[in-house]
Amino acid sequence: MSEINSNSPDVLPEVAEFLGSAHHALIGAQWKMASDGRMRDVCNPANGDVIATVAECGPAEVDAAVKAASASFKAKVWRGTSVSERTQVLLRFADLIERDAEMFAQIDVLDNGMPIWLARMIIASGIEGLRYAAMIAATLTDENFSAATSSADRRLHAYSATQPIGVAALIIPWNGPAASFLVKAAPALAAGCSCIVKPAELTPLSALLLGKLALEAGVPEGVLNIVTGDGKVVGNALVEHPLVDKVSFTGSTVIGKEIARRAADRLKRVTLELGGKSPTIVFDDADLELAIPGAAMAVFANSGQMCIAGSRLFVQRKVFDKVVAGIGQVAGSLKIGNGMDPNNQLGPVISAQQRDRIAAIVAEGQEQGAEIVCGGGSPSGNGFFVEPTVVVGADKDSSLIREEIFGPVIAAIPFDDLDDVIPQANDSRYGLAAGVFTTDVNKAHIVADELEAGNVWVNCYGVTHPMVPFGGFKESGWGREFGVDGLQSYRESKSVVVQLHGS
């Protein structure tokens, strides 16, 4: 068993002050307790300690938040401003987040367990995405057409325009709290929508701080609301509320399907970024000094708690043993412990329940013939830690191969050639991401074309950019985030045709 590096440097004084303060829902411009006064404990997964308590909201708070958003939308306090005005507010918002970036990183480490290096990286990425959304909104223009009919005496002028979709419910996951908030709120706000954010019940803290900074930046009252609480209660109430026009959800495929069913009753617009069981393919011509650590961290980063995690590793038979051994060495070298210690590379998983679920999947795989190359256990000590684990020989129908584990577990599978690996890589109900390691550029493009995945990385993994659309095929979701596509998903197109008179 691995040992935990349990060092925990002191947090910033302002983080300690924030954790000790009251954490209520943001409705309009007011911070409000749950109507029944209930609170929920928030725990640090590195040690199980309670670090804060947050309002446990219900349908009453959802209704108030949606009505506040709807009122702000009807009053045009945000969508009625010019694009340049909205851009300036959002850029101020980004500057304030950047000012407090270390505070956000530490809060997400304490709340989620991720290592501090990763928290710093993803909050920087979120800031970049916010600035991009603020700027790209100014480039979206209407289209004008000159139209004629078969009748010579009839002339038309037509144009198409886009407008904000309305009230958007943004339901974010726990595996990257602050950045996930910005991935959804940035394009929604840039598009002119009014929003209600529902943070994950396990990691609600950075969302509340973001709400505070949004008000400081000048986002008007009611345009950005935040309601904390249980997903089944708050999430369902948001999806079913008649004044919500759009739902954007990131999370499990099971819940995504349920949201789609509920939203269908009113034909609400829906964006779903769901689960994955992503393949990483290493060919025998790959630069193994790049491919081995790349394939390893494709699943071990954030303790495997990523929708894009490359948890199915396909390695060409000639280099299979070498790659598997190399990934095992990477796994064994990773320092596991409290994410606040910058020397640690892996933090805990989010909860005891998740730790036990991962262990059960690995044990089931062993019973079905899988062999553990390294890892497979939980380090001794406090916290919800899982050793980075490499398995071989897993049955193709086992949960190790079929199900999203959301933990630091990778199943290695040998293959012979291109015609052998593509069907195996595509043999999944998911299609979110894939990685390819090869020095043959022709092969790289062929494989990228054949893979059934919304995101394909060649000789790297998990690299995103706010300009590049992100989303999945098959049961990995509907729609795209990032880029122009992501912003346009919060707008509706309208066509206007005018009959002209006179010569």
Residue ranges per structural domain of the chain: 13-274+477-493, 279-465
Q: In the structure, what pLDDT confidence band is assigned to residue 131 with cuts at 50, 70 and 90?
A: very high
CB atoms within 10 A of CB 311: 25
Q: Which residues, other chains included, contact 476 with Cβ-Cβ below 8 Å and sequence gap of 6+?
A: 253, 273, 274, 275, 276, 307, 430, 431, 432, 454
Q: What pLDDT is recorded for position 151?
A: 54
CA distances from 60 to 16, 67, 171, 207, 437 (A): 31, 11, 18, 20, 51
Q: What pLDDT is recorded for position 466?
A: 94
Q: Among 3.40.630.30, 3.40.50.150, 3.40.605.10, 1.10.150.120, what is the CATH number of 13-274+477-493? A: 3.40.605.10
Q: Which of 341, 372, 272, 354 is nearest to 305 (CA)?
A: 354
Among the listed residues 57, 193, 195, 307, the single catalytic one is: 307
Distance CA 247, CA 64 (A): 17
Per the prediction, the chain carries an average pLDDT of 94
Distance CA 295, CA 289 (A): 11
Active site residue 307: yes
Per-residue pLDDT reduced to its tens digit, 374-393: 999 888 778 999 999 999 99
Q: What pLDDT is recorded for position 274?
A: 97
CA distances from 174 to 125, 130, 201, 204, 463 (A): 17, 19, 8, 8, 20
The reply to whether the predicted model has a pTM over 0.85 is yes
Per-residue pLDDT reduced to its tens digit, 239-294: 999 999 999 999 999 999 999 999 999 999 999 999 999 999 999 999 999 999 99
CB hemisphere CA count around 173 (13 angstroms): 20
In the chain, the amino acid numbered 55 is A
Architecture label for domain 279-465? 3-Layer(aba) Sandwich (3.40)
State how beta strands 312-316 and 279-282 pair: parallel
Write the DSSP assignment of 84-113 as a string of letters.
Answer: HHHHHHHHHHHHHHHHTHHHHHHHHHHHH-
Tokens found for residue 4: 């935990």
Among the listed residues 56, 273, 387, 481, the single catalytic one is: 273
Task: Say if CB 82 and CB 137 are below 8 A apart.
Answer: no
- The answer on pLDDT for 4 being more than 70 is no
Q: What's the DSSP call for residue 225?
A: E
- The answer on pLDDT for 150 being more than 60 is no
Bridge partners (DSSP) of residue 28 are none
Q: What pLDDT is recorded for position 180?
A: 97
Residue predicted with more confidence, 233 or 500: 233
Task: Say if CB 409 and CB 315 are below 8 A apart.
Answer: no
Distance CA 79, CA 168 (A): 13
3-class secondary structure per residue, 230-271: CHHHHHHHHHHCCCCCEEEEECCHHHHHHHHHHHHCCCCEEE
Percent with pLDDT over 90 in the chain: 89
Q: What pLDDT is recorded for position 155?
A: 79
Q: Which residues, other chains included, contact 447 with Cβ-Cβ below 8 Å and sequence gap of 6+?
A: 281, 418, 422, 436, 438, 456
Distance CA 492, CA 422 (A): 38
Mapped onto helix, strand or coil, the DSSP state of residue 412 is strand
Per-residue pLDDT reduced to its tens digit, 17-73: 999 998 999 999 999 999 999 999 999 999 999 999 999 999 999 999 999 999 999
Active site residue 273: yes
Distance CA 118, CA 179 (A): 11
Distance CA 37, CA 39 (A): 7
CA distances from 259 to 160, 268, 432 (A): 31, 10, 19
Percent with pLDDT over 70 in the chain: 96
- The answer on pLDDT for 1 being more than 80 is no
Task: Determine the straight-line distance between the first and last CA of the chain, rounded to whole angstroms.
Answer: 87
- The answer on pLDDT for 138 being more than 90 is no
Q: What pLDDT is recorded for position 325?
A: 98
Write the DSSP assignment of 25-49 as a string of letters.
Answer: EEETTEEE--TT--EEEEE-TTT--
Q: What pLDDT is recorded for position 379?
A: 83
Bridge partners (DSSP) of residue 412 are 313, 392
Residue predicted with more confidence, 139 or 488: 488
The label of the residue with tokens 């009252």 reads 221
pLDDT (mean) for 471-498: 94
Q: What's the DSSP call for residue 329?
A: H
Residue predicted with more confidence, 459 or 6: 459
Q: What pLDDT is recorded for position 470?
A: 97
Strands (E) across 261-379 are located at: 269-273, 279-282, 312-316, 371-374
Mapped onto helix, strand or coil, the DSSP state of residue 196 is strand
Write the DSSP assignment of 413-453 as a string of letters.
Answer: EEE-SHHHHHHHHH-SSEESEEEEE-S-HHHHHHHHHHS--
pLDDT (mean) for 335-355: 95
Q: Which residues, other chains included, contact 497 with Cβ-Cβ below 8 Å and sequence gap of 6+?
A: 147, 156, 157, 158
CATH fold match for the domains 13-274+477-493 and 279-465: no
Tokens found for residue 494: 């309208």
pLDDT (mean) for 424-452: 98
Mapped onto helix, strand or coil, the DSSP state of residue 458 is strand
- Strands of the 477-478 sheet, one edge to the other: 30-32, 25-27, 224-226, 194-198, 167-171, 246-250, 269-273, 477-478
pLDDT (mean) for 234-242: 97
